């Protein structure tokens, strides 16, 4: 349940991150009757997965899998959810973990807001919608997206002109322009970090000129274009609303590259690019689709077959590293590519939309958040090669892409493992009188 | 629709002051937004058109027109109606009274 009031009451486990890994870990623990506090820095739970169109290699609808998990966690009597709340740091002392959190103002009293969106309809300002990766428009006060949880309006102070139209429109007088940032601390028996990953900047490689063309897009932007309720309702290129006739995917555009400081493989790009190409071939049946790759890493269950299916569907796979991307006339792009399978012949190829597979990078700074050094790749260190969800701090566990780039299936597996480690840790430290270290306090979720 | 109380007005005032201290002023961006939106709405008054056609009619860059159309679709004031070659056509769902008057056609 979403609780508008931060409370310092102790909980069994604090799960940091409300993406698929955090949701799964929270549900696994709450189903064992542990009292869980789930904190999410965005204004809705769901993480990256709720924004995806479909998943690989099964082409299942992504939100159809994520939404029930979000709902189960949101309505679970043993899970309390704090959105717009960021982890500052975890302070581990003998026997206790103090989790320092910061709740950003949403300028809405969630106890009063009924999610009717009348404020949103009344708001006169729109700005590039972050959920639509900037491609759509969002009002300055809005429910973040259609299946967001909580279904509560959030005001964006950077774009609001403070005209008061939302206050006048709100039937429950829920808008709070005097809301302030709050810092508070929660005592937890154990902590699970499921903070996910970030993506490095699209313009990181100057030779790709991403800042000079709106038709060089990120894979997440393409996910939104492919989503049934995406910003344009169909796949169009952002520069001029044209139905693209020739789309290129450039793999390893932000990872496996020492010069970018990202020498590792991001592990998900080959497969999501194949998936996106497959979905595009459905959305744009006559489009010419080309994937430029160094090598295809289809190592998971069903992945190789997925790759072979894509080739059979007529998607072109070209082995070769793209050296340059230059904007040319008609908003098109020219790719300079060395064709490895044609003796290294260099060719200029023209496309009208290019998708760059950005590198997956860490978002959590272990030094700041935990006071311990990161692993060489910048992600959380895994000191135990067998118990991979343990961190350098006793009682603090981690799951999903916080430990390194990985796909949804692996993130969910790790979330289960981290929940198990946390449960074992709590049970081992519990006094004989309590049942496996579970808090006997009533469910910690009470609406103000 | 409720009226603003004194408490609301005081909170709004404090909100504005606090933001001013932080150096943020979204007023300019909001004014530009309204101007552009009006230009797209008025260009649409001449009938269904593609993004490049609307860009020429409104004097806005095509990507801005597309972005405004995305917002207008979301909030129900525009819709896709047909296809012209590689470009979908958009039409206004506003009644003539609601939409701003069309700008004089550019030579």
Cβ atoms of residues A35 and A435 within 8 Å? no
- Name residue, tokens 């064992």: A32
Q: Are residues A248 and A143 in the same domain?
A: no
Report CB contact under 8 Å: A126, B33: yes
Is A161 in CB contact (< 8 Å) with chain B? Answer: yes
Q: Are residues A155 and A259 in the same domain?
A: no
Report CB contact under 8 Å: B70, A232: yes
Token pair listed for A294: 């160094």
Q: Are residues A350 and A436 in the same domain?
A: no
Instruction: Give pLDDT tens digits for A333-369.
Output: 999 999 999 999 999 999 999 999 999 999 999 999 9
> Residue A207 belongs to a domain with what CATH number?
3.50.50.60
Cβ atoms of residues B10 and A177 within 8 Å? no
Partnered with residue A55 across adjacent β-strands are: none
B98 — pLDDT class (breaks 50, 70, 90): confident
Of the partner residues A121, A159, A164, the one whose CB lies closest to the CB of residue B26: A159
Q: Are residues A61 and A143 in the same domain?
A: no
Report CB contact under 8 Å: B24, A158: yes
Report CB contact under 8 Å: B62, A241: yes
Q: Are residues A335 and A266 in the same domain?
A: yes
Instruction: Give pLDDT tens digits for A257-273.
Output: 999 999 999 999 999 99
Instruction: Give pLDDT tens digits for A146-203.
Output: 999 999 999 999 999 999 999 999 999 999 999 999 999 999 999 999 999 999 999 9
Report CB contact under 8 Å: A159, B12: no
Q: Are residues A337 and A367 in the same domain?
A: no
Region label for A354, one of left (φ > 0), alpha (ψ between -120 and 50) or beta (otherwise):
beta
Structural domains counted in chain A: 3
User: How many CB pairs lie under 8 A apart between chains A and B?
Assistant: 111
Q: Are residues A84 and A116 in the same domain?
A: no
Question: Can you tell me the ipTM of this complex?
Answer: 0.94
Instruction: Give pLDDT tens digits for A41-68.
Output: 999 999 999 999 999 999 999 999 999 9
Give percent of chain B with pLDDT exceeding 70: 91
The C-alpha of A370 sits at a distance from chain B's nearest C-alpha, in angstroms, of 30
Q: Are residues A12 and A60 in the same domain?
A: yes
Tell me which H or E stretch contains A222.
helix A219-226
Q: Are residues A63 and A49 in the same domain?
A: yes
Of the partner residues B8, B33, B66, the one whose CB lies closest to the CB of residue A125: B33
- Which residues are within 8 A (CB) of A292 and not within 5 positions of it... i.e. 6 or more apart? A248, A249, A250, A251, A318, A320, A321, A322, A335, A337
Q: Are residues A222 and A189 in the same domain?
A: no
> Residue A166 belongs to a domain with what CATH number?
3.30.70.20
What residue ranges do the domains of chain B occupy?
Answer: 28-101
Q: Give residue A312's domain range.
A: 201-359
Q: Are residues A214 and A326 in the same domain?
A: yes
Choosing from A142, A177, A212, the residue where a domain stops is A177
Residue A117: strand, helix, or coil: coil
Q: Are residues A244 and A325 in the same domain?
A: yes
Fold topology of B28-101: Arc Repressor Mutant, subunit A (1.10.10)
* Contacting residues of A for B77, CB less than 8 Å apart: none
């Amino acid at each position: 349940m979403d609780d508008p009031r931060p409370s310092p009451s102790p909980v069994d486990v604090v799960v940091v991150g409300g993406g698929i890994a955090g949701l799964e870990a929270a549900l696994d623990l709450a189903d064992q009757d542990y009292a869980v506090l789930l904190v999410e820095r965005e204004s809705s739970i769901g993480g990256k997965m709720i924004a995806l169109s479909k998943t690989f290699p099964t082409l299942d609808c992504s939100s159809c899998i994520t939404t029930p998990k979000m709902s189960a966690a949101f309505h679970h009597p043993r899970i309390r959810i704090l959105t717009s709340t960021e982890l500052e740091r975890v302070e581990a002392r003998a026997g206790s973990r103090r989790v320092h959190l910061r709740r950003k103002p949403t300028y809405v009293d969630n106890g009063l807001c009924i999610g009717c969106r009348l404020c949103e309809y009344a708001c006169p300002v729109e700005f590039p919608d972050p959920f639509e990766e900037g491609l759509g428009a969002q009002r300055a006060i809005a429910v973040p997206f259609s299946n967001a949880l909580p279904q509560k309006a959030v005001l964006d102070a950077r774009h609001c002109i403070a005209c008061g139209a939302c206050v006048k429109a709100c039937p429950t007088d829920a808008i709070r322009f005097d809301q302030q940032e709050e810092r508070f601390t929660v005592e937890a028996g154990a902590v699970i970090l499921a903070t996910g990953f970030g993506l490095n900047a699209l313009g990181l490689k100057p030779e790709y000129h991403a800042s000079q063309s709106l038709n060089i897009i990120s894979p997440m932007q393409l996910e939104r274009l492919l989503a049934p309720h995406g910003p344009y309702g169909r796949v169009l290129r952002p520069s001029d609303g044209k139905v693209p006739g020739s789309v290129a995917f450039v793999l390893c555009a932000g990872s496996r590259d020492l010069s970018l400081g990202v020498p590792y493989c991001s592990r998900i790009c080959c497969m999501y690019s194949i998936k996106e190409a497959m979905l595009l071939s459905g959305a744009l049946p006559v489009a010419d689709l080309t994937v430029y790759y160094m090598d295809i890493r289809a190592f998971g269950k069903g992945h190789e077959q997925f790759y072979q299916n894509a080739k059979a569907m007529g998607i072109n796979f070209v082995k070769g590293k793209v050296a340059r991307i230059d904007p040319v006339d008609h908003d098109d792009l020219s790719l300079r590519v060395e064709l490895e399978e044609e003796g290294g012949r260099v060719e200029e190829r023209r496309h009208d939309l290019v998708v760059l597979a950005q590198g997956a990078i860490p978002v959590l700074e272990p030094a700041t958040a935990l006071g311990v050094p990161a692993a060489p790749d910048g992600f959380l260190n895994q000191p135990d090669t067998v118990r991979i969800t343990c961190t350098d701090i006793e009682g603090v566990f981690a799951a999903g892409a916080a430990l390194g780039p990985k796909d949804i299936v692996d993130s969910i597996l790790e979330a289960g493992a981290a929940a198990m480690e946390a449960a074992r840790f709590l049970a081992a430290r519990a006094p004989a009188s309590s049942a496996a270290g579970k808090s006997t306090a009533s469910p910690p979720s009470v609406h103000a | 629709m409720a009226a603003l109380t004194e408490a609301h007005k005081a909170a709004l005032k404090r909100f504005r002051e606090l933001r001013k201290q932080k150096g943020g002023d979204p007023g300019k961006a909001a004014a530009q937004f309204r101007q552009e939106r009006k230009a797209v709405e008025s260009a649409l008054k001449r009938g269904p058109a593609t993004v490049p056609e609307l860009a020429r009619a409104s004097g806005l860059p095509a990507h801005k027109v597309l972005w405004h159309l995305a917002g207008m679709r979301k909030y129900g004031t525009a819709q896709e109606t047909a296809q012209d070659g590689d470009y979908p056509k958009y039409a206004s769902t506003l009644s003539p009274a609601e939409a701003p008057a069309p700008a004089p056609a550019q030579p």
